[in-house]
Amino acid sequence: MFCIHCGREIDDSSSFCSSCGGRQPSRASHKQLTLSATDKKLAGVCGGVAEYLDVDPTIVRLIWVALSVVPGGFVGGALAYFLAWIIIPKAPAFASTAAAAGTVQPSPKAS
């Protein structure tokens, strides 16, 4: 596992990073719905929902468009997307890119 704050490798069971002291999210707890930092077309809402549900983001986008095309649903679909954009918190950029890449490169130390 890698620290979400400094990117250094830490023990999988650690709650805190030994290098920077940053608190790590609990792996045993529930998943959190966040806006996707890596898979987004507009704001990352559909990408975040797809990551949360562990499905392909294209499927989520197609379903969202299909439901928005229903007569009278476009305004509701656009409004729901806008509200989700505001309400759903952003994913930590470092954690999302590390998960997408599969590896993490530690940031260079400042002297």
Q: Once rounded to an integer, what is the mean pLDDT over residues 20-42? A: 76
Q: Which residue has the tokens 């954690």?
A: 95
Q: 96: closest CA among 32, 16, 42? A: 32
Mean pLDDT within 27-41: 75
Structure tokens of 24?
């790590």
If one compares 56 and 36, the residue with the highest pLDDT of the two is 56
CA atoms within 13 A on the CB side of 66: 6
Residue 26, pLDDT score: 67
| pTM, entire model | 0.54
Tell me the one-letter amino acid at 102: G
What is the SS3 assignment for 4?
coil
Class of residue 31 by CB neighbours under 10 A (exposed 0-12, middle 13-18, buried 19+): exposed
DSSP SS3 for 109: coil
Q: Is the dihedral of CA 63, 93, 42, 102 positive or negative?
A: negative
